[in-house]
Amino acid sequence: MAVDVPSRAQILRGVMAELERLANHLGTLAGLGGGYNGGRLGYHREQLCRAAHIAFGHRLMMDCIVPGGLAADMAATGPAALAAALDALAAEWPSLPDPPPPALSASAAIAWAAGGPVARALGLPGDARHQPGYPPYAGQPTGAGRHAEAAASLAMLRGWLASLPGGPVNTVLPTTAGEGLAVAEGPRGPVWHWMRLDGGLIAAAFAADPSWRHWAWFEQEAAGRDVADIPPLLRWFGNGVSGADL
């Protein structure tokens, strides 16, 4: 299905995706960091959510991206609000810590087809933003591991917001039938979507959360460890609890 998403919508989709990733990584790092640094990371996560609410009308930007583009353009006050939150984070970023990774097995990660920042922190390749790749990530370094990825998201966001193209933010979708598979890199890893269209309507769909595979990997990694090591390991994985149930 050939759909030409306007360039402004493509960049703003990237802005939302990276804001989400940054906010999630900050939240996870806050849980790992604890104390003063954890508090600061949580503070910046909240400021990003508030800026997203001003810019896109929803703290977590749910329902803001629709097939063909965006549900609505960014608010006129959005760029200033986002820039303020991002600049404050960038100023404090060098003093915020990079928590050391736990010892995890790369072969187990490969066996469970793990992805996302937890797998990349082990040096494993694979980031849907580059493989297979989709706009607007061409030529943008995305980092490996939560801390590096958060820094990369911060750089991408500031770059995009500094030179946003104008124009429309959505396009009309053709009425068609067919079946397709797509992947987007979420904060926890690749989110796969399968969908069947019939007469322009969704006949069937399935979305696969990365946590679905990561829980199996976590179980293998948790076996034999001290009980006290489990809570930090859980926070490090940051799995969603619902991905496996729905």
Partner 1 sequence: MIWQRLLTRLRPAAETLPDPAPEPVEALAARLDAAAQARLGRSLALRHVPTGGCNACELELAALTGVVYDLQRLGLRFVTDPAEADVLVATGPLTRAMHHALESCLATMGEPRWVVAVGDCAVDGGVFKGSYAVEGGIGGTVPVDLLIRGCPPAPAQILSGLMALLAVNASARPVRRRRA
Q: Which residues bind partner 1 (CB under 8 A)?
A: 24, 27, 30-31, 39-40, 42-43, 45-46, 49, 53, 59-60, 62, 240-242, 244-246
Give all strands of the β-sheet with 201-208 in edge-to-edge order: 178-186, 189-198, 201-208
Q: Which is nearer to partner 1, 8 or 45 (CB)?
A: 45
In whole angstroms, how close is the CB of 193 to partner 1 at the nearest point?
Answer: 14
* Class of residue 153 by CB neighbours under 10 A (exposed 0-12, middle 13-18, buried 19+): buried
Helix 230-237 crosses helix 7-33 at what angle (to 10 degrees)? 170
In whole angstroms, how close is the CB of 166 to partner 1 at the nearest point?
Answer: 31
Q: Specify whether the CB–CB gap between 191 and 208 falls below 8 A.
A: yes
Q: Which is nearer to partner 1, 13 or 45 (CB)?
A: 45
Q: Specify whether the CB–CB gap between 103 and 222 falls below 8 A.
A: no
Q: Which is nearer to partner 1, 232 or 240 (CB)?
A: 240
**DSSP characters over 178-209:** EEEEEEEEETTEEEEEEEEEETTEEEEEEEE-
In whole angstroms, how close is the CB of 42 to partner 1 at the nearest point?
Answer: 3
Cα–Cα dist 190/204, whole Å: 20
In whole angstroms, how close is the CB of 167 to partner 1 at the nearest point?
Answer: 30
Q: Tell me the helices (H) and strands (E) count for the chain, helix number first.
A: 8, 5
In whole angstroms, how close is the CB of 180 to partner 1 at the nearest point?
Answer: 21
Q: Which is nearer to partner 1, 58 or 130 (CB)?
A: 58
H-helix or E-strand spanning residue 70: strand 69-70
Q: Specify whether the CB–CB gap between 24 and 31 falls below 8 A.
A: no
H-helix or E-strand spanning residue 66: strand 65-66
Q: Which is nearer to partner 1, 6 or 99 (CB)?
A: 99
In whole angstroms, how close is the CB of 3 to partner 1 at the nearest point?
Answer: 24
Q: Which is nearer to partner 1, 136 or 190 (CB)?
A: 190
